[in-house]
A and B are shown apart, each in its own frame.
Chain A
């Protein structure tokens, strides 16, 4: 199983990025190992890492959770629907979390670079993000759950 030292930076980063938007009390929920990732929520943001670690990280959430996150990112501005700006904000959120994790990893001696995020909308989608294993962790936040799927080739 993937070493926890590679997983923690991504979970820590969700916490610290959300705290920057004034969201506290974020807990780690259940953890599972998967070959194929089946997404039943509406939105998945996926972003790659290259360098001394190689892989993909996918963040899945419901539309409601995404709207609340975008609203928090925009200082509480109400978000009724996820328009182009809102969707771009979710991409930015994935970018910030993964970018922050890459800084934590490099302070542990692993130089990694992140790639541009892609956002996939739709329910009932089957994903493969890694040829090895994918670790899935539910992050329980006051804005709703974020399922973090980590597929690192380590």
Chain B
């Protein structure tokens, strides 16, 4: 499957801007910007993106919970976790959810683009 449309879930407007710039430069389309986990789940359901970039520490619903809900809606969902926090406890929880790619912030274009190529 070709990845084209990407949903961003992060509470920081800075991260949205940075990711959008990187993704659009490389020909991807950002189809939605969600600012917390609950909004992320809702937007996943309505937009059905090819891929989700998901922060962890967020208001209302955190990224691990949101990833779990998205996997319930669509077990084939592709999710890349992108977080400043990534200790063993958090990594373990992400692994249990079947998240295969976990990126630590900060990031550059290479880190993002090579991660996308690995989920395909």
A and B touch in the complex (CB under 8 A): yes
Chain A interface (Cβ < 8 Å from any Cβ of B): 54, 131-132, 153-154
**10 A-B pairs in the complex with CB atoms less than 8 angstroms apart:** A54-B59, A131-B12, A131-B35, A132-B11, A132-B36, A153-B11, A153-B59, A153-B60, A154-B59, A154-B60
B58 sits at the interface (CB 8 A): yes
Give how many B residues have a beta carbon under 8 Å from the other chain's beta carbons: 8
Among B11, B12, B57, B59, chain A packs the most CB atoms within 10 A around the CB of B59
Bound-state CA distance A53–B96 (Å) is 24
Main secondary structure of the interface of A (DSSP, over half): loop
- Total contacts A to B, CB within 8 angstroms? 15
Nearest B residue to A131 via CB reads B11
Bound-state CA distance A107–B52 (Å) is 37
Chain B neighbourhood of A54, CB < 8 A: 57, 59
Chain B neighbourhood of A132, CB < 8 A: 11, 36, 59
Bound-state CA distance A122–B15 (Å) is 31
Going nearest first, the 9 A-B pairs with the smallest beta carbon separation are: A153-B59, A131-B11, A132-B59, A131-B12, A154-B60, A154-B59, A131-B59, A153-B60, A54-B59
Chain A neighbourhood of B12, CB < 8 A: 131
Nearest chain A CB to B33's CB is how many angstroms away? Answer: 14
Interface membership of chain B positions 25-38, coded 1 if the CB is closer than 8 angstroms to chain A and 0 otherwise: 00000000001100
Bound-state CA distance A132–B58 (Å) is 10
Bound-state CA distance A132–B60 (Å) is 10
Interface membership of chain B positions 2-13, coded 1 if the CB is closer than 8 angstroms to chain A and 0 otherwise: 000000000110
Nearest chain A CB to B19's CB is how many angstroms away? Answer: 16
Nearest A residue to B10 via CB reads A131
Nearest A residue to B59 via CB reads A153
Nearest chain A CB to B93's CB is how many angstroms away? Answer: 16
Nearest chain B CB to A134's CB is how many angstroms away? Answer: 12
Given contacts A54-B59, A131-B35, 13 further A-B contacts (CB under 8 A): A54-B57, A131-B11, A131-B12, A131-B59, A132-B11, A132-B36, A132-B59, A153-B11, A153-B58, A153-B59, A153-B60, A154-B59, A154-B60
Interface membership of chain B positions 43-78, coded 1 if the CB is closer than 8 angstroms to chain A and 0 otherwise: 000000000000001111000000000000000000
